[in-house]
Amino acid sequence: MSQRSRRLTGAALGAMTISLLASCSLVSVPDRAAEKDDARNSTAVSAASTSLGAFLGSDEEGVRRMPDLQDWLGGTDIGVGHTYLPGDRWASIEGHPDFLRPWADWRGEDEDRLFVLNVPMMERNEEGVSDDDVRDLLQYAADGDFDHHFRRLAENLVEQGLSDTVITLGWEMNGVTYTHRCGPDPEAWKEYWNRIVAAMRSVEGEDFRFDFTPNRGRDAIGWTKCYPGDDVVDIIGMDSYDQPTGMTFDEMIEEPYGLQDQVDFADEHDKEISYPEWGLFRNGDNDEFVRRMLEWIDEHKPLYQTITDYCPHGVWQCEENPRSSRAYRSALYDLPEPAPSPARPPVPGRRENCFPLDLGESIERWFGTRRLCIRIDLLERLLGKAD
């Protein structure tokens, strides 16, 4: 998180924060970097053999933002549309037509476009379900209790003209975040994956590809222990963020279950690779990570790559990463310094008339991961300062 130029301190902040939030208009403060910064990499990286995308939003907002991103990239084509089905309940995982329709319209405009859909394997997918409960659910799943939900999803995709969707199923299964994780019962998890693929491939007209995408590194379990088999996997993906703190890119390559292991595993199993999620995280505005990741992509030619473009990960919609933004734009496309993002234009006078509030990452993320402030005149009035 960027450093503030001024902070509210002392007892006044504790006494007033809630009343300020309740009674005053909160606005976002752009954190613009100075025009001069480190020199950009002068060698452009070819992207001709890798389809480019970015996660810009789950619903139709993700579709609407793509033209602005293309403009920011000098007219470069965004050939990958990437979104996630909600994992709150089974009805959402079945893919409601209203959710899919904007993506289907976008996909239908160009036969060369690629639609990537992250599909949860369990409802209540981000509700902190215990390992014991996950183990029970995986047993039910391996017995076929949930097959019909995925058959319905496949039917909805085909009906919407999305029969060739890349299905990133049960992503980051080697971690601890999601209810669809593998660790509590790897054997049942692999059987469940096989049942889902069989159910979706049973629908007439489908031409899906299934992307097996763990987190980079071991995480809770080595991801090879979750691999469900060559006949039900088409792509070996990997989500790779700039973490943990202090890890170098060379270490990301060489660590067990890291980037090199992904490439080697895919080669051994005659599969293409992908990077459905990548971006900044624990090490701030790390332009070196962005450059090295793009170089890795250029070297190994994945089927597609989609950067996660919201704070703290992104380079376009997140103004807290100006160096990485320039690195992404110039190293990948050798384009000049960009103008401010058309999606978030500067507001004249906002910085001068607005006092920043430091409310912590969780509160700021709730408001959109952008810094919050209060109008100075209202603050002075509440504090009783007329000078």
| Per-residue 3-state assignment (H helix, E strand, C coil) for the chain | CCCCCCCCCCHHHHHHHHHHHHHCCCEECCCCCCCCCCCCCCCCCCCCCCEEEEECCCCHHHHHHHHHHHHHCCCCCCCEEEEECCCCCHHHHCCCHHHHHHHHHHHHCCCCCEEEEEECCCCCCCCCCCHHHHHHHHHHHHCCCCHHHHHHHHHHHHHCCCCCCEEEECCCCCCCCCCCCCCCCHHHHHHHHHHHHHHHHCCCCCCCEEEECCECCCCCCCHHHHCCCHHHCCEEECEEECCCCCCCHHHHHHCCCCHHHHHHHHHHCCCEEEEEEEECCCCCCCHHHHHHHHHHHHHHCCCEEEEECCCCCCCCCCCCCHHHHHHHHHHHHCCCCCCCCCCCCCCCCCCCCEEEECCCHHHHHHCCCCCEEEEHHHHHHHHCCCC
* Entry pTM: 0.77
Question: Mean per-residue pLDDT for 342-353?
Answer: 38
Query: What pLDDT does 380 receive?
Result: 53
Going by pLDDT thresholds of 50, 70 and 90, the confidence category of residue 11 is very low
Q: Are strands 354-357 and 372-375 parallel, antiparallel or unpaired?
A: antiparallel
Of 6 and 209, the structure prediction assigns the larger pLDDT to 209
Assess whether pLDDT exceeds 90 at residue 342: no
pLDDT at residue 376 in the model: 46
Instruction: Output the pLDDT for position 135.
Output: 98
Q: What percent of the chain shows pLDDT beyond 70?
A: 73
In this structure, the dihedral spanned by the alpha carbons of residues 66, 69, 73 and 79, taken in order and rounded to 10 degrees, is -20
Instruction: Tell how far CA 346 is from the center of its chain.
Output: 25
pLDDT value, residue 384 = 58
Residue pair 23/385 in contact (Cβ under 8 Å)? The answer is no
Task: Quote the pLDDT of residue 200.
Answer: 98
The predicted pLDDT at position 33 comes to 34
Confidence tier at 383 by pLDDT (50, 70, 90): low
The C-alpha atoms of residue 291 and residue 358 are separated, in whole angstroms, by: 31
pLDDT of residue 364: 41
Task: Tell me the one-letter amino acid at 22.
Answer: A
* Model pLDDT, residue 334: 66
Write down the pLDDT at residue 331. Answer: 74
pLDDT band per the 50, 70, 90 thresholds, residue 14: very low
Please give the pLDDT value at position 10: 36
Q: Is the pLDDT of residue 43 over 50?
A: no
Distance from chain centroid for Cα 254: 23
208 has pLDDT over 70: yes
Please give the average per-residue pLDDT across 95-107, as a whole number: 98
Decide if pLDDT at 1 tops 50: no
Residue 341 has pLDDT above 80, yes or no: no
Q: What is the pLDDT of residue 50?
A: 86
Length of the chain in terms of residues written? 387
What's the whole-number mean pLDDT along residues 87-102?
A: 98
pLDDT of residue 386: 46
pLDDT at 367 over 80: no
- Compute, in degrees rounded to 10, the torsion defined by CA atoms 254, 287, 300, 47: 180
Tell me the pLDDT of the chain averaged across its residues: 82
pLDDT tens digits, 220-276: 999 999 999 999 999 999 999 999 999 999 999 999 999 999 999 999 999 999 999
Per-residue model confidence (pLDDT) at position 6: 28
Structure-token pair, residue 279:
């971006």
* 29 vs 333: CA distance, rounded Å: 29
Q: What would the mean pLDDT of 337-360 be, rounded to a whole number?
A: 44
For 228-232, which contacts have Cβ atoms below 8 Å and span 24 or more sequence positions?
228/189, 228/190, 228/193, 228/194, 228/197, 229/190, 229/194, 230/269, 230/270, 230/271, 232/193, 232/194, 232/197, 232/198
Q: Tell me the percentage of the chain whose pLDDT exceeds 90.
A: 71
